[in-house]
Amino acid sequence: MPSDVSLASYIDHTLLKPEASREQILAVCAEAVEHSFKSVCVNPIWVSTVHTAVKDSGVLTCSVVGFPFGATPTEVKVFEARGAVADGADEVDMVIDLAAARAGNYEALVLDIRAVAEAVHEGGAILKVILETSQLNDDQKVLACRASVEAGADFVKTSTGFNGGGATVEDIALMRRTVGPDIGVKASGGVRTLADARAMIDAGATRIGASSGVAILKGEQGASGY
Protein backbone atom coordinates (compact mmCIF):
# COMPACT_ATOMS: atom_id res chain seq x y z
CA MET A 1 0.00 0.00 0.00
CA PRO A 2 1.45 3.39 -0.95
CA SER A 3 1.65 6.34 1.41
CA ASP A 4 -1.34 8.65 1.47
CA VAL A 5 0.59 11.17 -0.61
CA SER A 6 1.31 8.69 -3.40
CA LEU A 7 -2.29 7.45 -3.22
CA ALA A 8 -3.31 10.57 -5.19
CA SER A 9 -1.40 9.24 -8.19
CA TYR A 10 -3.72 6.21 -8.28
CA ILE A 11 -6.91 8.25 -8.58
CA ASP A 12 -8.84 9.12 -11.73
CA HIS A 13 -10.84 12.09 -10.44
CA THR A 14 -14.19 11.49 -12.08
CA LEU A 15 -17.25 13.49 -13.10
CA LEU A 16 -19.46 11.56 -15.50
CA LYS A 17 -22.91 12.86 -14.60
CA PRO A 18 -24.59 13.84 -17.88
CA GLU A 19 -25.88 17.09 -16.36
CA ALA A 20 -22.42 18.26 -15.23
CA SER A 21 -21.81 21.93 -16.03
CA ARG A 22 -18.64 23.56 -17.36
CA GLU A 23 -18.12 25.15 -13.95
CA GLN A 24 -18.29 21.77 -12.26
CA ILE A 25 -15.88 20.25 -14.76
CA LEU A 26 -13.39 23.06 -14.21
CA ALA A 27 -13.72 22.67 -10.44
CA VAL A 28 -12.85 18.98 -10.73
CA CYS A 29 -9.86 19.89 -12.89
CA ALA A 30 -8.66 22.39 -10.28
CA GLU A 31 -8.97 19.74 -7.55
CA ALA A 32 -7.04 17.26 -9.65
CA VAL A 33 -4.20 19.71 -10.23
CA GLU A 34 -4.14 20.75 -6.56
CA HIS A 35 -3.95 17.18 -5.30
CA SER A 36 -1.87 15.70 -8.16
CA PHE A 37 -4.43 13.07 -9.12
CA LYS A 38 -3.54 10.77 -12.01
CA SER A 39 -6.28 12.01 -14.33
CA VAL A 40 -9.62 13.71 -14.74
CA CYS A 41 -12.20 11.37 -16.26
CA VAL A 42 -15.14 12.95 -18.10
CA ASN A 43 -17.65 12.37 -20.88
CA PRO A 44 -16.35 13.02 -24.42
CA ILE A 45 -18.01 16.43 -24.72
CA TRP A 46 -15.66 17.78 -22.02
CA VAL A 47 -12.35 16.30 -23.20
CA SER A 48 -11.00 19.45 -24.86
CA THR A 49 -12.03 21.54 -21.83
CA VAL A 50 -10.20 19.22 -19.45
CA HIS A 51 -7.16 18.94 -21.72
CA THR A 52 -6.79 22.72 -21.69
CA ALA A 53 -7.48 23.07 -17.96
CA VAL A 54 -4.87 20.52 -16.85
CA LYS A 55 -2.25 21.30 -19.49
CA ASP A 56 1.34 21.14 -18.21
CA SER A 57 0.16 20.04 -14.73
CA GLY A 58 1.06 16.36 -15.07
CA VAL A 59 -2.62 15.41 -14.70
CA LEU A 60 -3.89 13.28 -17.58
CA THR A 61 -7.15 13.63 -19.51
CA CYS A 62 -9.39 10.54 -19.55
CA SER A 63 -12.62 9.96 -21.46
CA VAL A 64 -15.19 7.20 -21.87
CA VAL A 65 -16.44 5.31 -24.94
CA GLY A 66 -19.65 3.35 -25.43
CA PHE A 67 -20.69 4.73 -22.08
CA PRO A 68 -22.47 3.61 -19.98
CA PHE A 69 -24.00 0.52 -21.62
CA GLY A 70 -21.46 -0.64 -24.22
CA ALA A 71 -24.37 -1.49 -26.52
CA THR A 72 -23.14 0.41 -29.56
CA PRO A 73 -21.54 -0.98 -32.73
CA THR A 74 -17.78 -1.38 -32.72
CA GLU A 75 -17.32 1.18 -35.49
CA VAL A 76 -19.15 3.77 -33.38
CA LYS A 77 -16.90 3.05 -30.41
CA VAL A 78 -13.87 3.41 -32.67
CA PHE A 79 -15.14 6.73 -34.03
CA GLU A 80 -15.82 7.98 -30.52
CA ALA A 81 -12.41 6.86 -29.29
CA ARG A 82 -10.59 8.57 -32.15
CA GLY A 83 -12.52 11.76 -31.49
CA ALA A 84 -11.65 11.71 -27.81
CA VAL A 85 -7.96 11.18 -28.51
CA ALA A 86 -7.99 13.93 -31.14
CA ASP A 87 -9.52 16.26 -28.54
CA GLY A 88 -6.71 15.51 -26.11
CA ALA A 89 -7.58 12.33 -24.22
CA ASP A 90 -4.52 10.50 -22.89
CA GLU A 91 -6.64 7.58 -21.74
CA VAL A 92 -9.90 6.04 -22.93
CA ASP A 93 -12.20 3.83 -20.83
CA MET A 94 -14.50 1.72 -23.04
CA VAL A 95 -17.48 -0.41 -22.02
CA ILE A 96 -17.51 -3.97 -23.34
CA ASP A 97 -20.33 -5.63 -25.24
CA LEU A 98 -22.12 -6.97 -22.17
CA ALA A 99 -24.40 -9.19 -24.21
CA ALA A 100 -21.38 -10.90 -25.76
CA ALA A 101 -19.79 -11.41 -22.35
CA ARG A 102 -22.94 -12.90 -20.87
CA ALA A 103 -23.33 -15.18 -23.90
CA GLY A 104 -19.73 -16.37 -23.59
CA ASN A 105 -18.87 -14.97 -27.03
CA TYR A 106 -15.12 -14.59 -26.61
CA GLU A 107 -14.43 -13.83 -30.28
CA ALA A 108 -16.93 -10.95 -30.36
CA LEU A 109 -15.38 -9.45 -27.25
CA VAL A 110 -11.87 -9.63 -28.69
CA LEU A 111 -12.88 -8.06 -31.99
CA ASP A 112 -14.75 -5.20 -30.29
CA ILE A 113 -11.97 -4.41 -27.83
CA ARG A 114 -9.14 -4.83 -30.34
CA ALA A 115 -10.65 -2.34 -32.78
CA VAL A 116 -10.89 0.31 -30.08
CA ALA A 117 -7.44 -0.54 -28.69
CA GLU A 118 -5.86 -0.08 -32.11
CA ALA A 119 -7.57 3.28 -32.60
CA VAL A 120 -6.55 4.49 -29.15
CA HIS A 121 -2.97 3.29 -29.45
CA GLU A 122 -2.59 4.89 -32.88
CA GLY A 123 -3.19 8.21 -31.15
CA GLY A 124 -0.65 7.48 -28.41
CA ALA A 125 -3.25 6.94 -25.69
CA ILE A 126 -4.00 3.93 -23.49
CA LEU A 127 -7.16 1.82 -23.24
CA LYS A 128 -9.01 0.68 -20.14
CA VAL A 129 -11.79 -1.88 -20.62
CA ILE A 130 -14.87 -1.63 -18.37
CA LEU A 131 -16.34 -5.05 -17.61
CA GLU A 132 -19.40 -3.92 -15.58
CA THR A 133 -18.71 -6.67 -13.07
CA SER A 134 -22.06 -6.38 -11.29
CA GLN A 135 -23.73 -7.75 -14.43
CA LEU A 136 -21.40 -10.75 -14.89
CA ASN A 137 -20.73 -13.98 -13.03
CA ASP A 138 -17.17 -14.99 -12.25
CA ASP A 139 -16.76 -17.10 -15.39
CA GLN A 140 -17.93 -14.19 -17.52
CA LYS A 141 -15.57 -11.80 -15.73
CA VAL A 142 -12.65 -14.13 -16.43
CA LEU A 143 -13.71 -14.43 -20.07
CA ALA A 144 -13.87 -10.64 -20.45
CA CYS A 145 -10.49 -10.18 -18.77
CA ARG A 146 -8.85 -12.73 -21.04
CA ALA A 147 -10.43 -11.13 -24.11
CA SER A 148 -9.15 -7.72 -22.99
CA VAL A 149 -5.60 -9.03 -22.65
CA GLU A 150 -5.69 -10.76 -26.03
CA ALA A 151 -7.13 -7.64 -27.67
CA GLY A 152 -4.30 -5.44 -26.41
CA ALA A 153 -5.98 -3.49 -23.61
CA ASP A 154 -3.78 -1.70 -21.09
CA PHE A 155 -6.21 -2.00 -18.16
CA VAL A 156 -9.33 -3.84 -17.10
CA LYS A 157 -11.82 -1.89 -15.01
CA THR A 158 -14.71 -2.98 -12.82
CA SER A 159 -17.63 -0.66 -13.40
CA THR A 160 -19.23 2.38 -14.99
CA GLY A 161 -20.92 3.41 -11.76
CA PHE A 162 -24.23 3.67 -13.64
CA ASN A 163 -25.48 0.08 -13.81
CA GLY A 164 -25.68 -1.13 -10.24
CA GLY A 165 -23.00 -2.56 -8.02
CA GLY A 166 -19.42 -1.37 -8.13
CA ALA A 167 -15.90 -2.44 -7.28
CA THR A 168 -15.38 -5.21 -4.74
CA VAL A 169 -12.18 -6.58 -3.28
CA GLU A 170 -13.14 -10.03 -4.54
CA ASP A 171 -13.57 -8.82 -8.12
CA ILE A 172 -10.29 -6.91 -8.07
CA ALA A 173 -8.47 -10.00 -6.82
CA LEU A 174 -10.12 -12.16 -9.50
CA MET A 175 -9.27 -9.69 -12.24
CA ARG A 176 -5.66 -9.40 -11.09
CA ARG A 177 -5.24 -13.18 -11.00
CA THR A 178 -6.69 -13.45 -14.49
CA VAL A 179 -4.74 -10.69 -16.27
CA GLY A 180 -1.45 -11.28 -14.48
CA PRO A 181 1.05 -8.67 -13.29
CA ASP A 182 1.54 -6.64 -16.47
CA ILE A 183 -1.97 -5.28 -17.10
CA GLY A 184 -3.49 -2.49 -15.03
CA VAL A 185 -6.60 -3.09 -12.92
CA LYS A 186 -8.91 -0.19 -12.14
CA ALA A 187 -11.40 -0.24 -9.27
CA SER A 188 -14.34 2.05 -9.94
CA GLY A 189 -17.83 2.40 -8.57
CA GLY A 190 -18.47 2.84 -4.85
CA VAL A 191 -14.90 3.63 -3.76
CA ARG A 192 -15.61 6.48 -1.32
CA THR A 193 -13.23 6.17 1.62
CA LEU A 194 -9.52 5.84 2.29
CA ALA A 195 -10.15 2.35 3.64
CA ASP A 196 -11.98 1.41 0.42
CA ALA A 197 -9.09 2.64 -1.70
CA ARG A 198 -6.46 0.87 0.39
CA ALA A 199 -8.40 -2.39 0.25
CA MET A 200 -8.67 -2.22 -3.53
CA ILE A 201 -4.96 -1.51 -3.95
CA ASP A 202 -4.05 -4.31 -1.57
CA ALA A 203 -6.20 -6.65 -3.70
CA GLY A 204 -4.33 -5.70 -6.86
CA ALA A 205 -5.77 -2.44 -8.18
CA THR A 206 -3.33 -0.05 -9.82
CA ARG A 207 -5.89 2.69 -10.43
CA ILE A 208 -8.93 4.01 -8.55
CA GLY A 209 -11.83 5.68 -10.33
CA ALA A 210 -13.74 7.92 -7.93
CA SER A 211 -15.74 11.11 -7.72
CA SER A 212 -14.72 11.30 -4.04
CA GLY A 213 -10.98 11.64 -4.54
CA VAL A 214 -10.57 14.67 -2.29
CA ALA A 215 -12.60 13.07 0.52
CA ILE A 216 -10.59 9.86 0.17
CA LEU A 217 -7.30 11.71 0.62
CA LYS A 218 -8.70 13.55 3.66
CA GLY A 219 -9.89 10.33 5.25
CA GLU A 220 -13.52 11.40 4.97
CA GLN A 221 -16.63 9.66 3.63
CA GLY A 222 -17.27 10.59 0.02
CA ALA A 223 -20.74 11.22 -1.35
CA SER A 224 -22.49 8.77 -3.61
CA GLY A 225 -22.67 9.47 -7.32
CA TYR A 226 -20.20 9.42 -10.17
How far apart, in whole angstroms, are the C-alpha atoms of residue 84 and residue 141? 27
Tens of pLDDT, residues 64-116:
999 999 999 999 999 999 999 999 999 999 999 999 999 999 999 999 999 99
How far apart, in whole angstroms, are the C-alpha atoms of residue 138 and residue 14? 27
Tens of pLDDT, residues 119-148:
999 999 999 999 999 999 999 999 999 999
* pTM, 2 dp: 0.95
Residue 5, pLDDT above cutoff 50: no
Tens of pLDDT, residues 152-161:
999 999 999 9
Question: Mean pLDDT over residues 4-27, rounded?
Answer: 93
User: Catalytic residue among 77, 154, 186, 196, which?
Assistant: 186
Give the amino acid at 89.
Answer: A
Q: What are phi and psi of 187, to 5 degrees?
A: -95, 120
Encode 7-31: b = buried (16+ Cβ within 10 Å), e = exposed: bbebbbbbbbeeebeeeebeebbeb
Q: Residue 226 has what pLDDT? A: 57
Angle 211-214-218 from CA coordinates, rounded to 5°: 135
User: Catalytic residue among 93, 112, 171, 196, which?
Assistant: 93
User: Catalytic residue among 38, 77, 141, 157, which?
Assistant: 157
The question of whether 139 is a catalytic residue gets the answer no
The question of whether 186 is a catalytic residue gets the answer yes
